[in-house]
């Protein structure tokens, strides 16, 4: 198998989960920022939303199929491993699939990187931390996942740490709650995360339901800001490949706002009235989830990403909610 050739002027970036909410935006951001780079993509379309992004066609390949994955990504300099069964509910409802994709699939990608020397970027969730006890949150906190989603992502993190040691450089991106959407060739690509869910209900004139107690805080980061973090990560990894560096670096990718879920619902309610003339209610409902943190603070320290990657947040919650609502007017 041919390994990466980092000396060439046009590196090759490979992306799993390229049809999804984040992956498709990452492809779009790569094409906009570095149109000279080669891009290889795959997705099994479990939650895929597009078949291509601009001039990049997305191959129908599953990360659980190690041999087809390695064939598709031959010659890659960097792999963005975005394929995953994500979210607490999806992992609970599809536990076997979550294990196969999030654990076995991640091991397949990391093994490919170990064999070829390709660099790796892997996103994982704040769910690996469980119930944080100190703030602001950093990736140095102890791991104590409370649900199956967090446990599968933790297993992926540990596997990459083991495979990368002495073999390839890897960036682990500890991401907070995503929101927002983006447009691919006329298709709006979104995901029913907390803020997006509230916006859709408000636009339909439906009550915004908040899980009790409502005071639980979350940190929110826009999908477009996250996509830029991947590009910054790739730029640094190319330097690390050239210098022969191996092992993992971890970066916190989060917004600079951590409101309570109730505060977010009220913001969406007020902006829906301003932008759409819709009057909607906010209602507390019984929380069906027992395995999630209820902390009332969720500030995240993103200084490592700012100082080393040169990454920063561009989007605010209020501005983004207005944009989302206006698109539905």
DSSP sequence for 194-209: HHHHHHHHHHTT--EE
Least confident residue range of 6-10, 19-23, 232-236:
6-10
pLDDT value for 16: 98
Domain ranges of the chain: 12-178+222-253, 182-218+256-298+316-327
| Global confidence as pTM | 0.95
pLDDT at 37 over 90: yes
Spatial CA neighbour of 86 closest among 101, 96, 71, 72: 101
Average of per-residue pLDDT across 150-158: 97
Nearest to 255 by CA among 317, 188, 187: 317
pLDDT of the residue at 7: 43
Say yes or no to pLDDT of 291 above 90: no
Give Rg (Cα) of the chain.
Answer: 19
DSSP track, 87-135: SHHHHHHTHHHHIIIIIIIHHHHHHHHHHH--EEEEEEEGGGT-S--SS
| Fold exhibited by the domain 12-178+222-253 | Rossmann fold (3.40.50)
Is pLDDT at 3 greater than 80 in this prediction?
Answer: no
- Return the pLDDT at 6: 46
| 311-320 pLDDT tens trace | 999 999 999 9
Higher pLDDT, 329 or 207: 207
Residue 5 clears pLDDT 80, i.e. is over it: no
Q: Are 150 and 125 in contact (CB under 8 A)?
A: yes
> For 50-96, what is each residue's pLDDT tens digit?
999 999 999 999 999 999 999 999 999 999 999 999 989 999 999 99
Residue 292: the pLDDT is 85
pLDDT at 1 exceeding the cut of 70 = no
CATH of domain 182-218+256-298+316-327: 3.90.25.10
How much is the mean pLDDT over the chain? Answer: 95
Model confidence at 2: pLDDT above 80: no
Three-state DSSP state, 155? helix
What is the mean pLDDT of the segment spanning 2-27? 84
Structure confidence at residue 198 (pLDDT): 98
């Amino acid at each position: 198998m041919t390994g990466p050739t980092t000396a060439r002027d046009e590196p090759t970036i490979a992306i799993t989960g390229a049809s999804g909410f984040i992956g498709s935006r990452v492809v779009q951001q790569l094409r906009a920022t570095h149109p000279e780079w080669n891009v290889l993509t795959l997705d099994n379309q479990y939650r895929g939303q597009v078949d291509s992004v601009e001039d990049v066609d997305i191959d129908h390949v599953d990360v659980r199929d190690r041999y087809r994955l390695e064939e598709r990504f031959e010659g890659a300099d960097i792999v963005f491993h975005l394929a995953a069964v994500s979210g607490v509910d999806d992992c609970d409802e599809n536990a076997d699939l979550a294990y196969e994709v999030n654990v076995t699939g991640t091991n397949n990608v990391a093994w490919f990187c170990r064999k070829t020397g390709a660099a790796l970027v892997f996103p994982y969730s704040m769910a690996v931390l469980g119930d944080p006890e100190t703030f602001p949150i950093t990736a140095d906190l102890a791991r104590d996942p409370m649900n199956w989603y967090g446990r599968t992502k933790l297993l992926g993190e540990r596997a990459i740490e083991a495979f990368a040691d002495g073999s390839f450089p890897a960036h682990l991106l500890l991401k907070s709650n995503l929101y927002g959407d983006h447009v691919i060739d006329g298709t709006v690509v979104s995901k029913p995360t907390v803020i997006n869910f509230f916006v859709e209900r408000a636009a339909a004139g439906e009550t915004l339901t908040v899980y009790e107690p409502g005071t639980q805080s979350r940190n929110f980061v826009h999908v477009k800001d996250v996509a830029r973090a991947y590009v910054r990560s790739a730029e640094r990894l190319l330097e690390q490949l050239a210098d022969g560096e191996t092992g993992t670096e971890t970066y916190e990718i989060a917004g600079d706002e951590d409101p309570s879920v109730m505060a977010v619902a009220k913001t969406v309610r007020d902006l829906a009235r301003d932008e759409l003339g819709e009057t909607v209610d906010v209602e507390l409902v019984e929380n069906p989830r027992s395995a999630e943190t209820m902390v009332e603070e969720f500030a995240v320290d993103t200084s490592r990403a700012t100082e080393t990657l040169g990454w920063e947040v561009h989007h605010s919650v209020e501005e983004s909610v207005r944009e989302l609502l206006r698109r539905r007017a």
